[in-house]
């Protein structure tokens, strides 16, 4: 499990999760987002390394939030 704490929203934060292809034939991810913000937070999930790949899924959070996002991908 990997955790990231973001306290400074004046800087863009980017992280990548890279699956181990020897584990199984498919992968899944679980993203837990918890906190509070007086501005909109955008989380963009892509199965590609390119930000312009067109397969991004965007999630937006504002106010108090405690969300879990999970998905399988092959």
Nearest-angstrom CA–CA distance, 49 and 47: 7
Cα separation, 46 vs 37, whole angstroms? 23
> Using one digit for the tens of pLDDT, what is the confidence trace for 18-40?
666 666 656 677 888 999 988 88
User: The pTM is what?
Assistant: 0.65
Q: What digits encode the pLDDT tens for the residues 52-73?
A: 556 788 999 999 999 999 887 6
């Amino acid at each position: 499990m990997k955790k990231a704490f973001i306290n400074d929203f004046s800087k863009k934060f980017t992280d990548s999760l890279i699956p181990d292809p020897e584990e199984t034939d498919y992968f899944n991810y679980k993203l837990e987002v918890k906190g509070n913000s007086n501005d909109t937070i955008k989380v963009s999930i892509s199965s590609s390394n390119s930000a312009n790949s067109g397969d991004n899924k965007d999630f937006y959070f504002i106010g108090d939030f405690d969300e879990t996002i999970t998905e399988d991908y092959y």
